[in-house]
Amino acid sequence: MKQIKLNDNLYLQPYESQIIIHLPDDQSLKIEERELFIDLLYEIKRSGLNGLEEVYKQITLNHDLSREEFNDLIETLSDNNIIKFKTDYTHSLSDKELIKYDRQIKSFATLQSNNIDDAIHFQEKIKSSSVGILGVGGVGSYVSYGLASMGIGKLTLIDHDHIELSNTARQMLYNENDIGKQKLEVAQQKLNLVNPSMDIVTINKRITSSLDLEPHLDNLDILILCADTPRGKIVYMVDDACQNKGCPFIFGLPSFNQITCGPLIIPNKTRSYSEIFPVPIEIDIADISVSEKEKTNLINSGLIATIIDPYNAIAGKLVALEVIKFLTGFLPCQLIDRVFNFDTNTLSSSITEV
């Protein structure tokens, strides 16, 4: 039996001779037949789970509607995203999962192109997905928490650091009681509290080449790069490894006030990162004295990523959202062959095709 229910984000605003129905994405619909539509929406709210026949039976007690007129009204409501349909779709989610993820399932369902069965299927896709995160520091802690909260089935966390005092001001998974512990150990404990049914694999390893990473990409649906060292080189290492293993990857990192997310690289579908942004050719410094090289390396070794917590949060949550889009298709992913940049000083943003 096909059930019918109102869009969960619907809001009615009655006026003397009409009603305005407000919906997501600033949609609104003005309707002149106020009494009829209020009664119809009321009956859908009250009787919709018993099917269209019950709604028709109830509405015709007070309104003279032919079956054809009723069907036209239902079609109008459906076309305008006011009502949603649900069938006896057999799904794999438990009762607990339906309650835990109720708000995001409803969020998926409120979109124009999705019905309730679609929304439940999107949640099933999240549950069956396997995501890798390289670096569980500033951005990585936000990404991992967000994905765990949304019900990702498996997370593979790759890191090698221990928690320091300065981490506790900008990396959300860690507090001062964790100082000295391995980030992976604490991250696993904290994320298990968020999503006890999620499978978490931790890999304590410093990535210094693509070969270091390749063995850990098997069976990942996507890898998220949240590490920034070796500086200027890590993204190319990840690109090489993911191209060799056929694993999609994406990254999002703040650099002071500039937050950059994307592009999402899909082997054999998009260009590789090194094709989009060729590896910089190092200047021949053969003529530079050993002393100058040592001084230059010493100066560069002092580079510290200056950051505040909100920058990490913005980058992490944007990447997590685009990853969920990619995994489920509930909305088109916006970072395939594109880079999003956000300036936290001016709140200006841009998307660049690459």
pLDDT at residue 299 tops 80:
no
The number of helix segments (H) and strand segments (E) in the chain equals 13, 13
The reply to whether 180 and 328 lie within a common domain is yes
Domain annotation covers residue 50: yes
Question: Domain end: 52, 85, 118, which one?
Answer: 85
Averaged pLDDT for residues 100-113? 95
In terms of C-beta density within 10 A (0-12 exposed, 13-18 middle, 19 or more buried), how is residue 284 classed? exposed
User: Residue 328's domain is classified under what CATH number?
Assistant: 3.40.50.720
Band the pLDDT of 285: cuts 50, 70, 90: low
Domain final position from 32, 59, 85: 85
pLDDT at 289: 67
pLDDT band at 283 (very low <50, low <70, confident <90, very high): low
* Token couple for 210: 């693509």
Tell whether 44 and 186 lie within a shared domain. Answer: no
The arithmetic mean of pLDDT across residues 104-111, rounded, is 95
Q: Which two three-digit tokens encode residue 130?
A: 């396997």
Is residue 286's pLDDT more than 70? no
Whole-number Cα distances in Å, 354 to 142, 208, 279: 26, 27, 15
Is residue 252, in this structure, part of any structural domain at all?
A: yes
Q: Percent of the chain having pLDDT more than 90?
A: 82
Q: Which residues lie closer than 8 Å to 328 by C-beta, 6 or more apart? A: 108, 122, 125, 126
Q: What is the 3-state composition of the chain as percent helix, strand, coil, each rounded to the nearest 5?
A: 45, 20, 35
Half-sphere exposure of 152 (CA within 13 A, CB side): 31
Instruction: Verify that 67 and 155 share a domain, yes or no.
Output: no
Average pLDDT (163-187) is 97
Q: What is the structure's pLDDT at 287?
A: 58
Distance CA 216, CA 197 (A): 21
What CATH number does residue 34 fall under? 3.90.930
pLDDT, tens only, 51-82: 999 999 999 999 999 999 999 999 999 999 99
Lowest mean pLDDT among 9-18, 113-122, 142-151: 9-18
Rounded to an integer, the average pLDDT of 250-267 is 95
Q: What is the mean pLDDT of the chain?
A: 93
Q: Write the burial class of residue 181 (CB in 10 Å: 0-12 exposed, 13-18 middle, 19+ buried).
A: middle
Question: What is the C-alpha to C-alpha distance for residues 45 and 5, in angstroms, rounded to an integer?
Answer: 6
Task: Please report the DSSP string for 237-293 in residue order.
Answer: HHHHHHHHHT--EEEEEEETTEEEE-PBB-TTTS--HHHHSPPPPPP--TTS-HHHH
pLDDT at residue 25, as a whole number: 75
Residue with the larger pLDDT of the pair 283 and 64: 64
Whether residue 278 lies inside any domain: the answer is yes
Lowest mean pLDDT among 112-116, 172-176, 210-214: 112-116
Domain that includes residue 271, residue range: 129-353
122 assigned to some structural domain: no
Q: Check pLDDT > 60 for residue 177.
A: yes
| pLDDT band of 288, cuts 50, 70, 90 | low
> How far is residue 94's CA from residue 28's CA, in Å, rounded to a whole number?
35
pLDDT digits 0-9 by tens, 219-232: 999 999 999 889 88
For residue 341, tell me if it sits in a domain: yes
Band of residue 340 on the pLDDT scale cut at 50, 70, 90 = very high
Tell me, yes or no, if the pTM score tops 0.85: yes
Give the pLDDT mean for 105-114.
Answer: 93
Residue 175 phi/psi, 5° resolution?
Answer: -130, 180
Residues 185 and 262 in one domain: yes
- What is the spatial distance between Cα 334 and Cα 323, in angstroms, rounded to a whole number? 10
- Tell me: pLDDT of 141 over 60: yes
How high is the pLDDT of residue 1? 76
Task: Kindly state whether residues 221 and 286 are assigned to the same domain.
Answer: yes
Packed helices 138-150 and 309-328: angle between N→C axes, nearest 10 degrees: 40
Residue that is last in its domain, among 85, 114, 148: 85
Average pLDDT of span 122-130 = 98
- The pLDDT value given to residue 2: 83
